[in-house]
């Protein structure tokens, strides 16, 4: 495959880098300490069209490719990974599932507001007792005439505190295991929805993570996305987009951490010379750069397969596995190069080290990615 980025990709990447350098990076530590997703920056991103990146133009989106969008996610996450993941979840999971599985009425009802950023999406699949084992989820939707009644609890919901639209996976037929899972698009102001307090997290503290409870929530039948019983398959397909998104989030963190390490190694003098003169430091930088480039190739391969409408299940998981391991490796080595100062909040590598950690956990843990990849290998 040819991974050359086209003009559109580079232009949007540059715009995102300018935005990240001016608006995100300088305040990222403040957002982290306060644990906030700043509303004024949400508004600015809405004006740039970032909430409708891959949504079709006829619904008010920019209609751009996943490849172009991923360059943007990498740049935004280099500035502030917590802010960047908010946009990745909204576009890659929530808009994407409506774009792929919604009927005309559903697309017309939800996509224009979502693309404008006036209704932000949240993706609700994880439950307190159902994480990696998605098929064991127990939130139920019981058919009652012209509507369904939803009951259950979703946990770790990114964007939970300000989302307007929830994509909710439920059991409509509990007897059938994963074949009994269906997916609904739910308006957050529906009666019976309670949104919990923000989780106090280790990293990506500028992203909002909450528990959401559904108690006898009446959801009209027309809010069923796709066919009943097909929710598991839909979730698996959509997770490819999410996993490519997390890959580029991880690459943004890794690139930013390496840049800081290079800068610091040229400034810090020990034994009468900058520490970048020591081969031990040079080799760390060489290893970091090689892994980041390899991750980018895996990430763009997955994105371009997805854009071409080709299967990309294995490739998305390989990309997520490698890029997120790379982010953790690079951030850890960047702290090492900073010595004791790398452990102090004044230096951004401390934040990158914390932000990188979650990338190996959400949208499927590293173990879950290995399950996908090995299953695919063994079926050949």
Active-site amino acid positions: 363
User: From the CB of 156, what's the least distance to ligand FAD, in Å?
Assistant: 3
Neighbours of 213 (CB within 10 A): 16
DSSP β-ladder status, 165-171 and 121-124: parallel
Helix (H, G, I), strand (E, B) or coil at 198: coil
What is the enclosing helix (H) or strand (E) of 316? Answer: helix 313-338
Which x/- pattern over 203-232 shows residues binding ligand FAD (rule: CB under 6 A)? ------x-----------------------
Helix (H, G, I), strand (E, B) or coil at 171: strand
- State yes or no: residue 288 binds ligand FAD (CB under 6 A): no
Which x/- pattern over 38-67 shows residues binding ligand FAD (rule: CB under 6 A)? ------------------------------
302, 312 contact by CB (below 8 A): yes
Residue number with CB closer to ligand FAD (24 or 168): 168
- State yes or no: residue 158 binds ligand FAD (CB under 6 A): yes
Cα separation, 159 vs 83, in Å, equals 10
In which residue are the tokens 């064991």 written?
136
- Choose the stretch contacting ligand FAD; rule: CB under 6 A; options: 7-15, 52-60, 231-239, 364-372: 364-372
- State yes or no: residue 367 binds ligand FAD (CB under 6 A): yes
Structure tokens at 72: 């943007």
- Choose the stretch contacting ligand FAD; rule: CB under 6 A; options: 15-23, 156-164, 264-272, 302-310: 156-164
- State yes or no: residue 124 binds ligand FAD (CB under 6 A): yes
- Choose the stretch contacting ligand FAD; rule: CB under 6 A; options: 122-130, 275-283, 300-308, 323-331: 122-130
Q: What is the DSSP string of 251-278?
A: HHHHHHHHHHHHHHHHH-EETTEEGGGS
Structure tokens at 233: 């398959």
- State yes or no: residue 126 binds ligand FAD (CB under 6 A): yes
Strand positions, DSSP E, the chain = 121-124, 140-144, 147-158, 165-171, 181-187, 193-195, 209-220, 224-225, 269-270, 273-274
- State yes or no: residue 156 binds ligand FAD (CB under 6 A): yes
Residue number with CB closer to ligand FAD (157 or 261): 157
Cα separation, 375 vs 373, in Å, equals 6
- Choose the stretch contacting ligand FAD; rule: CB under 6 A; options: 99-107, 144-152, 342-350, 355-363: 355-363
- State yes or no: residue 123 binds ligand FAD (CB under 6 A): yes
- State yes or no: residue 201 binds ligand FAD (CB under 6 A): yes
Cα separation, 287 vs 279, in Å, equals 12
Q: Which of 70, 95, 97, 125 binds ligand FAD (CB under 6 A)?
A: 125
Q: Which of 131, 226, 231, 245 binds ligand FAD (CB under 6 A)?
A: 131
Burial of 267 (0-12, 13-18, 19+ CB in 10 A): exposed
User: From the CB of 338, what's the least distance to ligand FAD, in Å?
Assistant: 25
Question: Which spans of this chain sit near ligand FAD (rule: CB under 6 A)?
Answer: 89, 123-126, 131-132, 156-158, 201, 209, 358, 361-365, 367-368
């Amino acid at each position: 495959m040819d991974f050359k980025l086209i003009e559109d990709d580079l232009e949007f990447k540059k715009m995102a880098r300018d935005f990240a350098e001016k608006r995100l990076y300088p305040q990222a530590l403040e957002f982290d300490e306060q644990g906030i997703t700043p509303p004024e920056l949400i508004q600015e991103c809405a004006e740039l069209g970032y909430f409708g990146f891959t949504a079709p133009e006829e619904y008010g989106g920019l209609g751009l490719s996943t490849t172009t969008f991923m360059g943007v996610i990498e740049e935004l996450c280099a500035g502030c990974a917590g802010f960047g993941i908010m946009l990745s979840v909204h576009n890659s999971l929530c808009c994407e599932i409506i774009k792929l599985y919604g009927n005309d009425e559903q697309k017309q009802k939800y996509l224009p507001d979502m693309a404008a950023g006036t209704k932000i999406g949240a993706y609700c699949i994880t439950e307190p007792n159902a994480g990696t084992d998605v098929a064991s989820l127990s939130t139920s939707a019981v058919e009652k005439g012209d509507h369904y009644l939803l009951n259950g609890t979703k946990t770790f919901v990114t964007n939970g505190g300000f989302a307007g639209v929830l994509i909710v996976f439920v059991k409509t037929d509990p007897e059938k295991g994963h074949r009994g899972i269906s997916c609904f698009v739910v308006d957050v102001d529906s009666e019976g929805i309670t949104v919990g307090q923000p989780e106090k997290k280790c990293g990506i503290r500028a992203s909002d993570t909450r528990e959401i409870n559904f108690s006898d929530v009446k959801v009209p039948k027309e809010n069923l996305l796709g066919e009943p019983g097909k929710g598991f398959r839909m979730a698996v397909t959509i997770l490819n987009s999410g996993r490519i998104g997390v890959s580029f989030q991880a690459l943004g963190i890794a690139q930013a951490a390496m840049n800081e390490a290079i800068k610091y190694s040229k400034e810090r003098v020990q034994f009468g010379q900058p520490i970048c003169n020591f081969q031990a430091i040079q080799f760390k930088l060489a290893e970091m750069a090689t892994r980041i480039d390899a991750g980018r190739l895996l990430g763009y391969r997955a994105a371009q397969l997805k854009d071409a409408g080709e299967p990309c299940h294995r490739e998305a998981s390989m990309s997520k596995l490698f890029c997120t391991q790379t982010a953790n490796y690079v951030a850890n080595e960047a702290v090492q190069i900073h010595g004791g100062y790398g452990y102090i909040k004044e230096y951004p590598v401390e934040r990158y080290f914390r932000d990188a950690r979650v990338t190996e956990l959400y949208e499927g843990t590293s173990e879950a990615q290995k399950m996908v990849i090995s299953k695919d290998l063994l079926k050949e």
